[in-house]
Structure 1
Amino acid sequence: MAGNDRRRGGMRKSNKKGMVVGSGGQRRKGLRGKGPTPKAEHRVSHPAKRRADARARAEQQRLKRQAAAESQPELVCGRNPVVECIRADVPASGLFVAQGIDVDDRVTEAVREANTRGISVLEVPRTELDRMTGGAVHQGLALQVPQYKYAQPEEVLDAAIESGIPPLIVALDGVTDPRNLGAVIRSAAAFGAHGVVVPQRRSAGLTAVAWRTSAGTAAKLPVAKAVNLTRTLKDLKKAGLMVVGLDADADVTVDDLELASGPLVVVVGSEGRGLSRLVRETCDQTVSIPMATGVESLNASVAAGVVLAEVARRRRLR
């Protein structure tokens, strides 16, 4: 129609010279979807990604510090713990003796046995020994021991089965005090247990404090680390062991522990919160310890000793 070329919008305007061409389908391609939107922590320059990267770096640094700490030797302090560790053939690398120490039978035995076993004996100023032990009560003696080499739960079970007597294993759930761990190891060894299992996380490790409290028995009794304690308990149940947990609210007491004479796992929880929910649900039975009125709970290591003593008594009467 004549005059349409003057209508507003009737002609395409372009700054290009010559013929105006189409988009060649590029506009249609630009309308296509690019897939689901990535999560915030995966988007470049997003604050969530920066926070995620910072957490990853912090975790990497923590693992490096943990690996460095695990490669460092430990110092067992005190005359009795040092002598007992040497008697138990703990793989020590050095015995530190404070200058001007008051010599008694324990010091004499420690130095004599260290020389016999090829352990280096070094005399150091008392102030230096104070620094090395972090101010701990060392009584002039400190024994340098390597980091403890944990066993696998399967190794503890295999050794228990090969012993020819019903397996007895102690598992700790959330016990974070190394003194409690050392005391439990000592009680477990005293009452015939084949090993102790601790979870990999939220649990005390076999540090020098635990070595000292165990009085060297940690060198005789294997201690295993479980990546997942609940899964490990289920594996032990599949192997034929019954799992008994200590619970202050249980209706059954240790006086009625009929499972004691068979293959058994005794699970001890923390003094504060006791057994975790998943561990309690995994137990075949929970038992309590009769106590006088007005006493709320026992220390975890004391409770373990009471139950293990009862298990050992019942096994002797079989």
Structure 2
Amino acid sequence: MNENAIEGRNVIIEAFRGGKTIDKLYVQDGLKDYTISTILREAKKHGTYVNFVGKDRLDSMSETGKHQGVIAIVAAYEYASVGDILEKARQNNEPPVVFILDGIEDPHNLGAIIRTANLSGAHGVIIPKHRAVGLTAAVARASAGAINYTPVAKVTNINKTMSELKDAGMWFVCADMGGDRMYDLDLTGSIGLVIGNEGDGVSESVKKNCDFIASIPMKGDIDSLNASVACGILAYEIVRQRIAKGAKYEK
């Protein structure tokens, strides 16, 4: 059972109305009474992702045995906005560096990426609302405290957000084996680093929205790196190139 889960109809309604950020809502398929309708209205109002599942699935998730047809996963930390991330860069008088995560599902990967973002000087992380892990307690632990200093924004549509950031002068590079060597690309300036799903990589629609595709040179018997490791390698190539242009990174 997820340690950030809450169960029961009234508890979940009050969580919504009390301003809690609910990442995911699991609702028993086929329930259509007034209270369930109220919960679904609140979910729609707050942009919460709803999963309709069978009773057996809810029973297996439940710790109390009294879920009443609904279980919600509450975010352990508050989300920032994309504007907050850009404002952080402006306050530091630096060109924005943002990590865009296209469907990272493993909380340990997300936590490690948030940690890398903090230590490499990135100004924030952007994740999608759907089909991705949110800010759970496990993510917070894996970030080793970096979650307290690194803004994480959750958006409905990654491609739309990228287009808006392009209009603001940002360009994007994604990690993919079929791209140019990362050493041959100019990774300075206002940049978004796009990291894909652990199994499928960067989706085709997001890849088409990127300006460059960067590959990490590899010599071995397998063909891919862990998502958070790939992110770390590319992030520090960005750091290396910025230092070469005079940026300061020492504490």
Give TM-score, length-normalised by structure 1: 0.55
Q: Letter of the aligned partner of 2:230 in structure 1?
A: A
3-state SS of 2:195 partner = strand
Q: Aligned partner of 2:196: which letter?
A: G
One-letter amino acid matched to 1:274: G
How far off its partner does 1:59 sit? 8.1
Q: Could you say if the C-alpha distance between residues 60 and 291 of structure 1 is closer, same or farther in structure 2, counting changes exceeding 3 Å?
A: farther
Q: Secondary structure at the match of 1:275?
A: coil
Q: What is the deviation of 1:293?
A: 3.3
Q: Paired residue for 1:28?
A: none
Does residue 249 of the first structure (1) align with residue 181 of the second (2)? Answer: no
Q: Does residue 143 of structure 2 align to residue 222 of structure 1?
A: no
Partner of 2:125: 196
More strand by share: 2
Gaps of 5+ in 1: 1-52, 68-133, 135-145
SS where residue 171 of structure 1 aligns?
strand
Structure 2 distance, partners of 1:200, 1:149, is: 14
State the Cα distance separating 1:64 from its structure 2 match: 8.7
Post-superposition shift, 1:66? 7.6
1:182 aligns with 2:111: yes
Helix, strand or coil at the partner of 2:99: strand
Q: In structure 2, what is the Cα distance between the partners aligned to 1:294 and 1:61?
A: 54
Whole-Å Cα distance in 2 between the matches of residues 192 and 62 of structure 1?
Answer: 40
RCO greater where, 1 or 2, for CA within 8 Å and sep 6 or more? 2
Deviation for aligned residue 1:249: 1.7
Q: 1:66 to 1:240 in 2, by over 3 A?
A: same
Q: Is it true that 1:283 corresponds to 2:210 in the alignment?
A: yes
How far is the alpha carbon of 1:161 from its aligned partner?
Answer: 2.6
Q: For residues 300 and 261 of structure 1, do their structure 2 counterparts lie closer, same or farther at Cα, with a shift above 3 Å needed?
A: same
Letter in 2 for 1:301: S
Please tell me whether the aligned partners of residues 271 and 297 of structure 1 are also in contact (alpha carbons under 8 angstroms): no
Moved over 2 A (4+): 53-67
SS of 1:210's equivalent in the other structure is helix
Look up the SS of the partner of 1:261 in the other structure. Answer: coil
- Deviation of 1:253 after TM superposition, in Å, equals 1.4
Q: 2:85–2:123: 8 Å Cα contact kept in structure 1?
A: yes
Question: 1:241/1:169 Cα in 2 relative to 1: closer, same or farther (>3 Å)?
Answer: same
Residues 1:314 and 2:241 aligned together: yes
1:234 to 147, 163, 169: 163
Q: Give yes or no for contact 1:241–1:264 (8 Å, CA) kept in 2.
A: yes
The RMSD of aligned alpha carbons is: 2.7
Kindly tell me: are residues 246 and 60 of structure 1, through their superposed partners in 2, closer, same or farther at Cα, counting changes over 3 Å? farther
1: distance between equivalents of 2:175 and 2:32? 38
> What amino acid is aligned across from residue 137 of structure 2 in structure 1?
A
User: Cα–Cα, structure 1 residues 188 and 59, in superposed 2: closer, same or farther, change >3 Å?
Assistant: farther
Question: Identity of paired residues, percent?
Answer: 40
**Residue 212 of structure 1 aligns with which residue?**
141
TM-score calculated relative to the size of structure 2: 0.69
Matching residue of 1:31: none
Among 266, 273, 288, the alignment partner of 2:193 is 266
The alpha carbon displacement at 1:247 in A equals: 1.0
Instruction: Give 3-state SS (helix, strand or coil) of 2:193's partner.
Output: strand
